[in-house]
Amino acid sequence: MRLRPFELVEPETLADALAALARLDGEARLIAGGTALVPMLRLGLVKPERLISLHRLPALAEIRTDDGTLRLGAIATLADIERARAVREGWPLLAEAVHRVASPAIRTSGTIGGNLCYAEAASDPAPALLCLEAEVRVAGPAGERSVPVTGFFRGFYETALEPGELVTAVRIPAVPAGALSGYVKFTPRSAEDKPLVGVAALITLDTAGRCAEARIGLAGAAPTPIRAHRAEMVLRGEAPSDTTVRAAAEAAAREAEPLSDLMGSADYRREMIRVWVRRLLVAMRDGTHRAEPNQD
């Protein structure tokens, strides 16, 4: 399909990007990887007068650690995040989750900021970022601010971004010492498809073998990615026995609010949440969960 004509703006500073976004002469859209935006342009679902490319802002592509905190620039690609040694060693849950996104070609183009801003409920990185208690750094006309990722997703394809704002980075604190983590996704069609259900988990055990910390993130379980807080409460203070794990999975399924679509009904999604939360927690407990090797 032929694209509608638009103006391409390529700012070289963040201030220039914000100024271009603030212009009142028609709708503007930001573009980095374009893996979500370009198909929408081709289908005519969005018809902006202006595209603002972020490719000339190299600071937004940086991946670095500062005093134990991981900082991902908004246009850092999923492939670069997956390959970064600091991420694989310090934040393996994130490396595992971004590795499961679509295909190598998509991961090479797609960016972490774009993934968050698209606000897809069935996102692979989002459940991991929820478990890692990430913060989203935002810049706009009123200056910069931080939004906890738990509050970034506001609704169906809706984020906490205000008009004229853009994401500049994602900051992730250090993972608790001794934490066990994992991510699984269930796709009834292709392994490269978005998850019908995605489950991320991070737990720590005390010296008595009880869960001192428990975090569970879900994709495809509600109009937005969510933390399964009730399931986490079931686990905290308890040994991850079969009975406790089964109760946590049941709690996750009950608190989910899945939607029905062509991939599956809400009831089917709820059952898959119950199945995959239990499977992941058991595999983490027994030491049998293994992230897929990076073969890209």
pLDDT digits (tens, 9 = 90+) for 119-161: 999 999 999 999 999 999 999 999 999 999 999 999 999 999 9
Is 185 found in the same domain as 166? no
Is 139 found in the same domain as 204? no
User: pLDDT band at 199, cuts 50/70/90?
Assistant: very high
- At residue 291, the pLDDT reads 79
Q: What CA–CA distance (Å, rounded) separates 282 from 278? A: 6
- At residue 170, the pLDDT reads 98
Is 91 found in the same domain as 40? no
User: pLDDT band at 1, cuts 50/70/90?
Assistant: low
- Whichever domain contains 167, its CATH number is 3.30.465.10
Residue 251 included in any domain: yes
pLDDT digits (tens, 9 = 90+) for 18-65: 999 999 999 999 999 999 999 999 999 999 999 999 999 999 999 999
**Close Cβ partners of 152 (under 8 Å, ≥ 6 residues apart):** 116, 136, 159, 160
Beta bridge partners of 167: 138
At position 101, the amino acid (one-letter code) is: V
Is 211 found in the same domain as 144? no
- Give alpha helix (H) positions in the chain: 14-22, 37-43, 78-83, 85-90, 92-99, 104-109, 112-118, 125-131, 149-152, 229-235, 242-255, 266-286
Is 153 found in the same domain as 75? yes
Residue 166 included in any domain: yes
As given in the structure block, the two tokens for residue 86 are: 């600091």
Residue 294, pLDDT > 50, answer no
- At residue 81, the pLDDT reads 98
Is 190 found in the same domain as 160? no
Q: What CA–CA distance (Å, rounded) separates 210 from 134? A: 25
pLDDT digits (tens, 9 = 90+) for 156-184: 999 999 999 999 999 999 999 999 999 99
Is 77 found in the same domain as 45? no
User: pLDDT band at 296, cuts 50/70/90?
Assistant: very low
Residue 18 included in any domain: yes
Residue 294 included in any domain: no
Picking from 118, 146, 172, the residue at the C-terminal end of a domain is 172
Is 223 found in the same domain as 125? no
Residue 293 included in any domain: no
Residue 224, pLDDT > 50, answer yes
Q: Which strands form 197-205's sheet, in the order they lie side by side? A: 180-186, 197-205, 211-219, 226-227
Range of the domain at 39: 7-53
pTM to 2 decimals?
A: 0.96
The total number of structural domains in the chain stands at: 3
| 3-class DSSP state of 115 | helix
User: pLDDT band at 295, cuts 50/70/90?
Assistant: very low
Residue 270 included in any domain: yes
Residue 272 included in any domain: yes
User: pLDDT band at 4, cuts 50/70/90?
Assistant: confident
Is 223 found in the same domain as 165? no
pLDDT digits (tens, 9 = 90+) for 73-114: 999 999 999 999 999 999 999 999 999 999 999 999 999 999
Residue 201 included in any domain: yes
| 3-class DSSP state of 16 | helix
**Close Cβ partners of 257 (under 8 Å, ≥ 6 residues apart):** 221, 222, 223
Is 167 found in the same domain as 130? yes
**C-alpha dihedral, 185 to 189 to 190 to 195, nearest 10°:** -30
Is 101 found in the same domain as 14? no
**C-alpha dihedral, 109 to 153 to 219 to 200, nearest 10°:** 90
Residue 293, pLDDT > 50, answer no
- At residue 292, the pLDDT reads 65
Least confident range from 43-47, 86-90, 196-200, 242-246: namely 43-47
Is 164 found in the same domain as 186? no
- Whichever domain contains 259, its CATH number is 3.30.390.50
Angle between helices 266-286 and 242-255 (to 10 degrees): 150
User: pLDDT band at 191, cuts 50/70/90?
Assistant: confident
Q: What CA–CA distance (Å, rounded) separates 82 from 294? A: 8
Q: What CA–CA distance (Å, rounded) separates 7 from 12? A: 16
Average pLDDT over residues 246-264: 96
